[in-house]
Structure 1
Amino acid sequence: MRNSFNEEELTVVVTHRSALTEEIVELEFRNADGSDLPAWDPGSHIEIVLSESVIRQYSLCGDPSDRGCWRIAVLREADGRGGSLQIHEELHVGSSVAVRGPRNLFPLRPSPNYVFIAGGIGITPMLPMVSAAAKAGARWSIHYGGRSRRSMAFAEKLLEIDGAGVRLYPQDEVGVIDLNSALGQPDTDTLVYCCGPEALLRAVEDRCRSSWPSDALCIERFSPKSVDSSAGDDSFEVELMQSSMTVTVNPGQSILSALEEVGVPVLASCMEGTCATCEVAVLEGVPDHRDSVLTEREREDNKTMMICVSRAAGSRIVLDL
C-alpha cells in the first residue's frame, strides 16, 4: 500500500505568488492559523480542493525542513481539465483554499548515485530530490528538458545547487533530452527518477527495461497512461471480506462506482488511477491493473489495486473492504 495520507482538509492561505515563466506560476501556502504545516519529504504532493468535483494534485517543490510553508508550481494548461486555469485565475495572495496531504507516491530511496530526468513541469518533484541527494553526499546528475530556455522555470535554481551535475536541454536549441547520455551506462548502484510528459516517460521506461536493473527506475505521472485493457470489460463479482457483501460490477462500470451504488464508502480523488487514494488490498483473484501508480513488481505481486480504474481479470475478486 502507498504511504499514509492525511485525508483531513486543511485551510491554507496564499502568502506569495510569482510568475516563473509565461505559463508557470509559483504559489506559497501557509497555515491559516499560523501553525506549522504537516511534514513532508522529497517526492510528496498535496491535493488542492478547488471545488467538490475539482481536486488536483501538485508536487511540493520547496524545502522540506521549512515547516512554515509549502510551495508548488502550476503550469497553465489551456487544453487541460480546468484545474490549472482556475488556480492561475483565482488564487492570489490572500486567497484561502482547502488542501489535503501531503502524500508521497514518489519517494526518494537511499542510493549512492542518482540519475534524474525531468521534462517540462516534471521538474517540480525533482527539486527537493536533487537538494536531498546533494546534502546526503550522493553522486547525481539531472537531465532537464523544456520547449525553450525561457520555459524552463527552475534551471537557475538547479545550477545554484551544483552546476556540474546539471544538463539542460532547451528543445529549440539542442533538441530533446539525450537518453544515450543520461542512461547509456547501466549501474546496479544507481537509481533513475523520471517525471514529465508521457512520450519522455515511455522512452525512459523502454530504455531502462532493456538494460537497467528491474527496480532501478522510479516514475511519477501527472496524467494517466494509456493501458492495454486486454481483459475486456465483462461483468464480474467483487466480494467484500470485511462487509460480507458481494457486488456485481457491470461492463463499463468501475468497482468504485459499483460500491458507491450499494453504500460502501471508499476514499477516492483523481478517478483516473494516478493518486492512489482508492488503493485497496486484494485478498483473492487477479486484478486487471489499469492505473498509473503501481510498479511492475507491484503489478506482478497483485496485492493491491486502484478500484477507480482497474478491474478483475477473471469473474471474481475479493477485496479487503
Structure 2
Amino acid sequence: MITTVVKSRTAVAERVCLLELASADGGTLPGFAAGDHIDLDLGSGLVRSYSLCDAPGAAPTEYRVAVALDPASRGGSRRVHELEKGDVVGVRAPVGNFPLDEQASHSVLIAGGIGVTPILSMVRRLTEFGAPWELHYAVRTRSAAAFLPELAEITAAAGARFVLHVDDELPEADRLLLLNPVVAAAPPGAHFYCCGPGPMLDAFVAATAELPPERVHLERFRAQPAGNTTEPSDPDFEIELACSGSTYRIGPQDTILDVLLDNDVDIEFSCMEGVCGSCRVKVLEGTPDHRDTTLTKAERAAGDVILVCCSRAKGQRLVLDL
C-alpha cells in the first residue's frame, strides 16, 4: 500500500465525486496506463477498485478517480463520499485489466454512467498522439453525466465524434442506446471498448460477437448475476501452495480466497467478485474452472492463471504459485 492524502473531493455530477489523491510524502506515484485502476483501502478491511481518469503518465504527482454513490452500496462508494481533504488513504499501485490498443486504426469508445472514468483516460491518451476515436456516452439524466465540459473540450481538440445519449431527453421508445448500429458503422479494423452497467455490457458482447476477440475490450465494475458464485453441487477439491507445500481442502461453499485468508496466507484481493483481477494467481498444476469476468479467452484457454476469489478447479487438485 502507498500512503496518500486526499488533496480534494469535488462533485462532478449528481451523486458523483472526483477524488484527488497525492502521495503523503509529496513525491511522485507509480505510473499507469489508460484503463488502469487503483485499489483504495477505505478502512475496516474495506478495499475497492476505481478506474483512473487522467491521461496516463510515468510518474504522476496525483491520482484522480470518480466515484458514483451507489444506493445499494456495501460501504465502498459511501465511504469515498465521506472522505474529506487531508484524510489518509492507502492505495495499491495501478493495475490494468482494460488495456488500450494504441496501434488501432480507429477506436470506438462506449460508456454508460460512471463507466466513463476509464474511457476518459483513453480519450485523453488517444488525443495525445493524434489517433482517431469516437465516443458514445449514455446516461439517464444530463445532471448525472460526469466530465461533460472536459469531454467537450477534448472532442473539439481531437476533432472526434462525441454522441451523448440522455435517456430522459428522448422518447421512451428511443431510450435504449442501440449498439449494433454503432458497431456496424465503424471503420474496418476498428477496436471497440465498453465500460458500464451489466445490461449495456451484455448488449455490447452481443453486438461484437462476430468480431475478432482482440478487437473487443470491456470492463465490468460489478460481477455478472450468475456463473461466478459457489454452488451446493460444486465438488470439493484440494489446493497446494508450491512455496510452502501446504495443502487445503476447498468445500462446495468455500472460495479459495476464503480458505487462504482463514489460514493467514498473504494475498492481495479487492472486489471478491471476479471483476478487478487483484487476486490473480499463477497455476502450476491442474485445470481452473474460471468464473470471473476479467480473464481473456486466451488466458482462460491457457489455464495458467486463476482468480481465487471466485474460480474453482475442474479436477481434484490445483497447485498454486503461492
Q: Same fold (TM over 0.5)?
A: yes
Q: What root-mean-square deviation, in Å, do the aligned CA atoms of Structure 1 and Structure 2 show?
A: 2.0
1:288-303 equivalent positions in 2, closer than 5 A: 288-303=289-304
Aligned to 2:65: 72
* 1:297 partner SS: helix
Task: Tell me what 2:200 maps to.
Answer: 200
Q: Does residue 35 of the first structure (1) align with residue 27 of the second (2)?
A: yes
Distance 1:121 1:147 in 2: 11
Which residues in structure 2 correspond to 1:107-118 (within 5 Å)?
107-110=99-102, 111-118=104-111
Partner of 1:168: 164
Using the alignment, how far apart are the partners of 1:263 and 1:14 within structure 2?
31
Structure-2 residue corresponding to 1:218: 217
CA distance in 2, matches of 1:241, 1:60: 34
* 1:25-104 correspondence runs (5 A): 25-65=17-57, 67-89=60-82, 91-104=83-96
**How has the CA–CA distance of structure 1 residues 262 and 142 changed in structure 2, closer, same or farther, with 3 Å as cutoff?**
same
Matches of 1:180 and 1:294, distance apart in 2:
24
Q: Which residue of 1 aligns with 2:310?
A: 309
Counterpart in the other structure of 1:4? none
Matches of 2:136 and 2:274, distance apart in 1: 27
Q: Tell me the alpha carbon deviations over residues 53-93 of structure 1, each in whole angstroms, 9 at most, x when there is no partner.
A: 2111111112334722211111011212111111112x122
Distance in 2 (CA, whole Å) between partners of 1:15 and 1:240 is 41
State how far apart, in whole Å, the 1-side matches of 2:109 and 2:269 are.
30
Letter of the 1:22 counterpart: E
C-alpha distance in 1 between matches for 2:278 and 2:302: 19
CA distance in 2, matches of 1:309, 1:259: 13
TM-score w.r.t. the length of structure 2 is: 0.90
Amino acid at match of 1:78: P
For the residues of structure 1 that align with 2:41 and 2:164, how far apart are their CA atoms? 34
TM-score of the two chains, using structure 1 as the length reference: 0.90
The AA in structure 1 aligned to 2:283 is V
- Distance verdict in 2 for CA 1:187–1:318, change over 3 Å: farther
Q: Tell which deviates more after alignment, 111-120 or 264-273.
A: 264-273
CA deviations 1:243-262 (Å, max 9, x no partner) are 33332211111112223444
SS in 2 for 1:115: strand
Asked if 1:148 corresponds to 2:147, the answer is: no
1:263 is displaced (CA, Å) by 4.5
In structure 2, give the amino acid aligned to 1:267.
Answer: E
The question of whether the paired residues in 1 share the 8 Å contact of 2:49 and 2:270 is answered with: no
Unaligned runs of 5+ in 1: 1-8
Q: Over residues 262-284 of structure 1, what are the superposed CA-to-partner deviations in whole Å (9 max), with x where a residue is unaligned?
A: 44433323222222222111223
